[in-house]
Chain A
Amino acid sequence: DAKTTQPTSMDCAEGRAANLPCNHSTISGNEYVYWYRQIHSQGPQYIIHGLKNNETNEMASLIITEDRKSSTLILPHATLRDTAVYYCIVRVYGRSSGDKLTFGTGTRLAVRP
C-alpha cells in the first residue's frame, strides 16, 4: 500500500472551509484514497473515499489531483464539532486479506470559535 504524508496539525476558523492535504506520491492505479476522522476518545468515523474523480457527500468533498499523487479533504463550513484527527489512507480495494486499513498519525484539526 502507498504511504501517505499529512501535516501534523492545522487550524481554521469556525464557519470557514477547512482544507486538509494529503500526499500519496507512490499511489498505484488500483488504490483508493479514504478519509476517516477520530473525535477525541471516540472510534474513527468514515468520511469519504475516491479513486480518481472528485467526490462529495453530506460530510465533505474530496479533491484528487489529476496525477493522483495528492488529495485534499474539504470541510466546507467547519464547526467546533469538526475538531478531530483526520486520517488519509490509501488502500487497494479487494476481498483479499480482509481489506485492512493502515492508520498513520493523521492531521489534528482544531476549529477556532
Chain B
Amino acid sequence: NAGVTQTPKFRVLKTGQSMTLLCAQDMNHEYMYWYRQDPGMGLRLIHYSVGEGTTAKGEVPDGYNVSRLKKQNFLLGLESAAPSQTSVYFCASRHSDRNSYNEQFFGPGTRLTVL
C-alpha cells in the first residue's frame, strides 16, 4: 500500500502559468480533500470530494479547480497561478465508513512557488 501519493513534490511556476497537482490513493477511499498550508499557519481546505464525479468548495476555493473522474485520483488545477498561491499543498483521503471516525490519511505534500 502506497497510501496517499502526490505529484509533483516540488514545482516553481511563473505568474500566469497553469499546472495540475495529482493526488492518488490506493485505499479505496470515497472522500478526498485538498488543503493548503502557508508558513506558520494551519491547514485550510480548498476543495473536497465525497465520491467519484463529485466535488465541492471548501474554505478557500478561489483560483483553483478540481476534478474527480476516477475514485482513486483527485486533481487540483491552477489555471493562472498567482504569487499568493505559493504554499504547500496537501491531499488527504478517508473512508466513508462510519467506523473510520474521520481519520484522514495525508499525502507528503507538494511545495509550490509562484514567482
Which residues of chain A have a CB within 8 Å of any CB of chain B? 32, 34, 36, 41-46, 49, 87, 91, 93, 95, 97-106
Interface contact B109-A43, CB-CB below 8 Å: yes
Closest 6 CB pairs of A and B: A43-B106, A103-B42, A103-B43, A46-B103, A98-B48, A98-B50
**CA–CA, A100 to B59, complex, Å?**
10
Residues from chain B with Cβ under 8 Å of A41 in the complex: 88, 109
Is B102 in the interface zone, CB < 8 Å from A?
A: yes
Q: Within the complex, which residue of B4, B42, B56, B103 is in contact with A106, where a contact is CB–CB below 8 Å?
A: B42
Q: Using C-beta atoms within 8 Å of the partner chain, give the interface range for chain B.
A: 20 to 34
Chain B: residues with CB nearer than 8 A to chain A? 4, 31, 33, 35, 40-45, 48-50, 56, 58-59, 88, 90, 92, 94, 96, 98, 101-109
Name the B residues within 8 Å of A102 (CB-CB): 45, 59
Across the interface, do A43 and B90 meet the contact criterion of CB distance under 8 Å? yes
A49 to B102, CA, bound (A): 9
Given contacts A43-B108, A105-B41, contact A32 B48 (CB under 8 A): no
In the complex, which residue of chain B has the Cβ closest to the Cβ of A99? B102
Interface contact B92-A98, CB-CB below 8 Å: no
Bound form: Cα–Cα A36–B37 in Å? 15
